[in-house]
Amino acid sequence: MKRIALLGMPNTGKSTFFNRLTGASARVGNWPGITVELMTAKVILGGTYTQVVDLPGIYSFHGFSEDEKVVRDFLENNPVDLVVIILNATQIDRQLPLALQVVKLGLPAVVVLNMADEARQLGILINTDILSAALGLPVALVSAKYGTGFTEAKQAIRVALDTAHKGEDLELVRVFSEDHEIEAATADIMRSAVELPRHFPKSRTARLDQVLLHPWFGLPLFFLFMFLLFQFIFTLGKPLQDGVAWLLTEARDRGLDPLMADWPHLLKGLLLDGIYNGVGTVAAFVPIIILFFLVMTLVEDSGYLSRVAFLMDALMARLGLDGRGFVMLLMGFGCNVPALMGTRVMRSRPLRLLTMLVVPFSLCSARLQVFLFITAALFTARAAPAVLFSLYLLSFATALLTALLFKGRYVSTEPFVIELPPYRLPTWRQVAMRGWHEVRHFLRRASKFITAGVVAVWLLTNLPTDVPPSSAGTLAGHVAAFMSPVLSPIGIDAELSLALIFGFVAKEIVVGSLAAIYGLEGDALMGLMAQKLDWVQAYSFMLFTLIYVPCLSTIATLKNEARSTGFMLMSVAWSLLLAWVVCFSFYQSARWLGF
For residue 31, the model assigns a pLDDT of 46
For residue 402, the model assigns a pLDDT of 96
Averaged over 512-536, what is the pLDDT?
Answer: 85
Residue ranges covered by each domain of the chain: 2-195, 219-415+437-592
Is the previous residue joined to 201 through a cis bond, with omega within 30 degrees of 0?
no
Averaged over 249-258, what is the pLDDT?
Answer: 88
Q: In which band, very low, low, confident or very high, does the pLDDT at 307 lie, cut at 50, 70 and 90?
A: confident
Highest mean pLDDT among 57-61, 154-158, 160-164, 300-304: 154-158
Averaged over 512-520, what is the pLDDT?
Answer: 81
Does the pTM of the predicted model rise above 0.85?
A: no
**Rounded (10°) angle between helices 508-518 and 365-378:** 40
Contacts of 488 (CB under 8 A, 6+ apart): none
Averaged over 481-501, what is the pLDDT?
Answer: 89
What is the tally of helices (H) and strands (E) in the chain? 29, 8
> How high is the mean pLDDT of the chain?
84
Amino acid at 448: K
pLDDT above 80 (res 83): yes
pLDDT above 80 (res 377): yes
Averaged over 518-526, what is the pLDDT?
Answer: 81
Amino acid at 588: Q
Cβ distance 95 to 119 under 8 Å? Answer: no
For residue 1, the model assigns a pLDDT of 83
In terms of Cβ atoms closer than 10 Å to its own Cβ (0-12, 13-18, 19+), residue 280 is: buried
Distance (Å, rounded) from C-alpha 17 to C-alpha 6?
9
Distance (Å, rounded) from C-alpha 290 to C-alpha 569?
33
Spatial CA neighbour of 348 closest among 321, 309, 328 = 321
pLDDT above 60 (res 34): no
Q: Write down the CATH superfamily of domain 2-195.
A: P-loop containing nucleotide triphosphate hydrolases (3.40.50.300)
**First-last CA distance in the chain:** 67
Alpha helices (runs of H) in 361-427, residue ranges in sequence order: 365-378, 384-406
Spatial CA neighbour of 28 closest among 430, 564, 540, 550 = 430
Q: In which band, very low, low, confident or very high, does the pLDDT at 165 lie, cut at 50, 70 and 90?
A: low
For residue 8, the model assigns a pLDDT of 92
Averaged over 502-530, what is the pLDDT?
Answer: 82
Cβ count near 207 (within 10 Å): 11
Q: What residues pair up with 374 in beta bridges, in sequence order?
A: none
Q: In which band, very low, low, confident or very high, does the pLDDT at 427 lie, cut at 50, 70 and 90?
A: confident
Please report how many Cα atoms fall inside a 13 Å half-sphere around the Cα of residue 132, on the Cβ side.
11
Averaged over 162-166, what is the pLDDT?
Answer: 73
Residue 62, phi then psi, degrees to nearest 5: -90, -5
For residue 143, the model assigns a pLDDT of 92
Q: What residues pair up with 143 in beta bridges, in sequence order?
A: 148
Spatial CA neighbour of 257 closest among 442, 521, 1, 541 = 521
Averaged over 327-336, what is the pLDDT?
Answer: 80
Range in 120-124, 169-173, 378-382, 466-470 the model is least confident about: 169-173
Averaged over 123-151, what is the pLDDT?
Answer: 92
pLDDT above 80 (res 522): no
**Rounded (10°) angle between helices 552-562 and 565-592:** 130
Averaged over 187-195, what is the pLDDT?
Answer: 88
Cβ distance 40 to 50 under 8 Å? Answer: no
In terms of Cβ atoms closer than 10 Å to its own Cβ (0-12, 13-18, 19+), residue 242 is: middle
In terms of Cβ atoms closer than 10 Å to its own Cβ (0-12, 13-18, 19+), residue 155 is: middle
For residue 577, the model assigns a pLDDT of 96
Distance (Å, rounded) from C-alpha 379 to C-alpha 248?
23
Averaged over 551-574, what is the pLDDT?
Answer: 89
Question: Which one-letter DSSP state was computed for residue 139?
Answer: E
CA torsion sign, 227 to 425 to 442 to 306? negative
Contacts of 466 (CB under 8 A, 6+ apart): none
For residue 495, the model assigns a pLDDT of 83
Q: In which band, very low, low, confident or very high, does the pLDDT at 353 lie, cut at 50, 70 and 90?
A: very high
Enclosing H/E stretch for 559: helix 552-562
Enumerate long-range contacts of 456-461, CB under 8 Å, 24 or more apart.
Answer: 456/502, 457/274, 457/278, 457/498, 457/499, 457/502, 457/509, 457/512, 457/513, 457/516, 457/517, 458/269, 458/270, 458/273, 458/274, 458/275, 458/278, 458/516, 459/270, 459/274, 460/498, 461/498, 461/516, 461/517
For residue 179, the model assigns a pLDDT of 66
* Inter-CA distances, 213 with 108, 415, 419, Å: 43, 20, 14
Q: In which band, very low, low, confident or very high, does the pLDDT at 500 lie, cut at 50, 70 and 90?
A: confident
Alpha helices (runs of H) in 332-471, residue ranges in sequence order: 336-341, 349-358, 365-378, 384-406, 428-445, 451-462
Highest mean pLDDT among 25-34, 127-136, 252-261, 307-316: 127-136
In terms of Cβ atoms closer than 10 Å to its own Cβ (0-12, 13-18, 19+), residue 429 is: middle
Range in 2-11, 126-135, 256-265, 449-458 the model is least confident about: 449-458
